[in-house]
Chain A
Amino acid sequence: MNDQGSTRLRVAKGALWFFVGVAAVVAVARFLAGLGAVTNLTDRTPWGLWIGFDVMGGVALAAGGFVIAATVYVFRGERFRPLLRPAVLTAFLGYMAVAVGLLFDIGRPWNIWRPMFFWQHHSALFEVAWCVMLYLTVLALEFAPVPLESSRFHRLTKALKSATLPLVILGIMLSTLHQSSLGTLFLIAPARVHPLWYTPILPVLFLITAVGLGMGMVIVESKVTAWLYRRKAEDEILNNLTKPLAVTLLLYGAVRLIDLLVRGQGGFLFDGSWESTLFWFEMLISAGLPTLLILGGFTARSGRALFFVGLLVVFGFVLHRINVGGVSGIGLTDTGYFPSWEEVATSLGVVSAATLAFLFIIERFHVYEPGTEEVLAEAEVTVDRVRYLPPMATLRSSTMLFVIGASLAFALLPDGLVFGARPEKTPVAGPRRVLAELVSQDRPPHRFMKLDLDAERVGGDIHEALLLDGNRNGEFAVFDHDAHAKRRGGAAACADCHHLNRPSDRETSCFECHRDQYLETDIFRHQRHVESLGGNGACAECHTDLNATRTRKNVTHCTECHRDMVGIGLKALIPPPGKDSDFHAPSYTDAMHGLCKKCHDEEDEKAGVTIPTLGLCGTCHTEPADLRPRRSRTVKED
């Protein structure tokens, strides 16, 4: 093995391996712990970076394949033939990246084959799925002669080569459909795409951008590999692409603006919102600036300007797709989505893996024209092209970065990646020092703290306590700090809540231990009040007017009896009468059933009665209509 090529190649490969390493670890966590543990996706934003960039962008970048194939075979542009193989390879690997990205993104990847057998022709995604599958196959067959031509399978290679033309035509047909179908995907979601982007002709726009992207991508890819391998880029051929590219860009700009005006959405163009700024930025870098550079003759003069134009077009059109795919809808859906580092790492990893595969293939097969190829061979190792090189033979220092990336990802793994998604932590608000009385009683809770606003100093049952708002909802709880410390093991237990070992953590949320804190609970227990007030005769204690319908409005308010439940200067736990109250009363059914049915059921069970006397609705509700308590409630009197 020699010194494995130039430094820039080594650095580039090392970086790519690093990203693949990080992504590999994240991928394992994603499949073990679920989407919620790795992504920032929400119920409001179900599609994020993986769809917006990997799929929408990946398919876009792969457009070079069908554009160059059409140029060479349909438009008879023989001079573009040197660009064909790299473009088809990019397309193939681009689609592979899309497929792999999809496996990460979809929730049940083992069902990914279903669209083949469950036909839903009215779904745009069904069409996309079919086109991706078919086109991936077509691309594989189209590129297959390249690795095969140096092998023993001469007949197979010959057969495949003779099928190239039909394959190319089929490829163009499929690409047309499914580049545009990516736009169709969003026709059903007008609520998620800003009017500057949402239009019934989205499919047409996506097809035009695909053509532009195809040409832009061919330029970028040719220039990048030329730089990496210190070979001469095909500048003269590439410059021939700029004229059709400029036409495409102008067509795109015109169609978009005219469409906006026809739909009457022109007002959004200058309303000063961030969407309008985004729109103009996107139009400037995707269509405006590249057209100027091409028509101004800059690209013909300088290879750098050519590369810049390619980059602008690719970046601008991918931005268009990402904008349609989600960014433009941020204001409409009011989403708080921003990709997590795990999502970004996975996207980078998938793209890096595809790039590594690209480099691997161009170093071994006749992808570039003979002249440039020797440079490639020199840049890497001298490879005997006939002999198969086992993959492990290429493991060199750059691949070490895979291990480093993977280790780093392991080190960065948050709890969520290891144990699965966790409910949200809410940091505690407060604390505030107060005096409270420790109350002991026979029934549960046997010991609790009651705010004592009149107490002046600690002593007797009066303790110092903290007021905490455990979930920041404006309702404070009396927190017995000393008792918690004692229960957790005295002075050694500080770090349980005060995370001294984690600098960014200020304190532990109550919820970390009291997992039921956020569950909706009845803070008013009807049954307990019935018991403590003397059973069935006690209704009138609270429901003072027994003839009136019993609602929250005419019931005796909690604070009439529990005078200490009103805090001063705090949001009261139970609002005083007249104010809007938000506690949960039991439903009428529960209240009434609790009076009779509960005891009877218990007694029946003790006595071993198989059919509970009050277990049948008809025992009390004599009319069928009474099963749903409404107008007349005729309960049989005993």
Chain B
Amino acid sequence: MKPAAKHHWAILTDVTKCIGCESCVEGCRGANHTGRDQPWTWQNGVRDLSASRWTTIDRLPGNHYVRRQCRHCVSPACASACPVGALKKTPEGPVVYDASICMGCRYCMMACPFQIPRYSWDSAIPAVRKCVLCHDRIESGEAREPACTSACPVDATIFGTREELLKVAKQRIAANPNVYRSHIWGEHEAGGTGILTISDVDIPLPNTVPTDPLPERTWAALRTVPFVFLGVGAGMVGLRWLLGRRDQLRLAEEKARAAEASAEKSEE
């Protein structure tokens, strides 16, 4: 895993500021041409994330609006799981996707601890769909920030570098400790994510989002592979030789004993 680049792109979402207008959703839809929402059987509802909705707003009780999107983990489980590198972590931070390489195994969807990647199940040529932080548009100079943050009318969600936004988040919490929970979602979850959220209510994340980077759990097993491979090979060859030698000795012993016996017989 590459170490995180110094200037990791990030988004800070402030739940206290969000009015739930979904301008970000529409901004994303327009910029990424995701298509219209439809009530497919494989999603929780039209409002849930889907192949045509890369970001959405969860409505918590009491008019609290929490924006959900790909969190662009510092060490992403999806990218480490991808067997062909169709999903990859760019040096700038966003986790981007190349459909032409993808073989459609959907291991990324299994691996993501936040359950973010979606699939275009209705298509005969399906693809993984998720927020890419408008990496292509920003790199090409078409935009200076993701469509969602530029669409936000109240600056509830802002774009910047991770360090900078972490500072902003801490300042906001320090300035209003009675309003905010003293927790920055995304600072440590799953080893840190590019999407930071501060809030006046608890944000329900999927169960068991760990604090350690998930790719390391796989790597703990995978790094032993060459040793196991060669070890088993050597072991098998050695065992075969050993057991062959045992049989050989036993055979020789039996032969000798038989010869001895016959010699004794002839002596008599």
Seen from chain A, the residues whose Cβ lies within 8 Å of a Cβ on chain B are 31-37, 39-44, 46-47, 70, 73-76, 105-109, 111-112, 114-115, 118, 120-129, 169-170, 172-173, 176-177, 180-181, 184-185, 187-192, 200, 203, 332-333, 420-421, 423-424, 426, 471, 511, 518-520, 551-552, 580, 584-585, 587-589, 628-630
Contacts and interface: CB of A to CB of B under 8 A. Distances in A.
Contact of A584 (B22, B38, B221, B228): B22
6 contacts: A35-B119, A41-B119, A47-B106, A190-B208, A628-B155, A630-B155
Interface stretch (B124-132, B160-168, B171-179, B257-265): B124-132
B115 interface: yes
Nearest to B104: A107
A46 B153 contact: no
Q: Is the interface of B mostly helix, strand, loop or mixed?
A: loop
Interface stretch (B5-13, B82-90, B180-188): B82-90
Given A44-B115, A107-B106, A33 B42 contact: no
Interface string B220-253: 1110010011101100110110011001000000
A518 B83 contact: no
A587 B153 contact: yes
Nearest to A119: B85
Contact of B110 (A46, A203, A420): A46
B240 A120 contact: no
A188 B217 contact: yes
Contacts of A185: 107
B33 interface: no
B218 to A, nearest CB: 5
Contact of B21 (A75, A192, A587): A587
B110 A129 contact: no
A32 B233 CA distance: 44
Contacts of A70: 236
Given A46-B109, A173-B229, A518 B46 contact: yes
Contacts of B208: 190-191, 332
A173 B82 contact: no
A479 B199 CA distance: 43
B37 A123 contact: no
Identify which of A31, A115, A471 gathers the most chain B CB atoms within 10 Å of its CB. A115
Nearest to A337: B42
Q: Which 7 pairs, one residue from A and one from B, show the smallest C-beta to C-beta distance?
A: A107-B104, A36-B121, A111-B103, A46-B109, A126-B83, A42-B42, A46-B106
Contacts, number: 234
Interface in B56-97: 63, 77, 80-85
Identify which of B21, B103, B126 gathers the most chain A CB atoms within 10 Å of its CB. B103
A461 to B, nearest CB: 35
Contact of B101 (A118, A121, A200, A332): A118
Contact of A107 (B115, B126, B217): B126
Contact of A519 (B19, B37, B126, B220): B37
B78 to A, nearest CB: 9
Contacts of B153: 587-589, 629
Given A34-B126, A125-B83, A169-B233, A585 B21 contact: yes
Contact of A43 (B80, B83, B109, B155): B109
A375 to B, nearest CB: 33
A190 B215 CA distance: 11
Contacts of B210: 190
Given A114-B101, A125-B83, A169-B236, A200 B126 contact: no
Contacts of B214: 188, 190
Identify which of B36, B83, B126, B219 gathers the most chain A CB atoms within 10 Å of its CB. B83
A518 B37 contact: yes
Given A188-B214, A628-B155, A106 B104 contact: yes
B40 A123 contact: no
Contact of B122 (A37, A584, A588): A37
Contact of B228 (A34, A111, A176, A421): A176
A34 B82 contact: no
Nearest to B59: A582
Nearest to B219: A122
B217 A200 contact: yes
A76 B82 contact: no
Contacts of B80: 122-123, 188
B150 A108 contact: no
Identify which of A106, A115, A188 gathers the most chain B CB atoms within 10 Å of its CB. A188
Nearest to B36: A519
B124 A74 contact: no
A518 B252 CA distance: 85
Contacts of A189: 110-111, 113
B135 interface: no
A164 B100 CA distance: 39
Nearest to A592: B153
A285 B122 CA distance: 39
B201 interface: no
A106 B244 CA distance: 45
Given A74-B236, A172-B232, A424-B41, A191 B113 contact: yes
Identify which of A47, A420, A520 gathers the most chain B CB atoms within 10 Å of its CB. A520
A169 B22 CA distance: 60
Contacts of A75: 239, 243
B77 A188 contact: yes
A518 B39 contact: yes
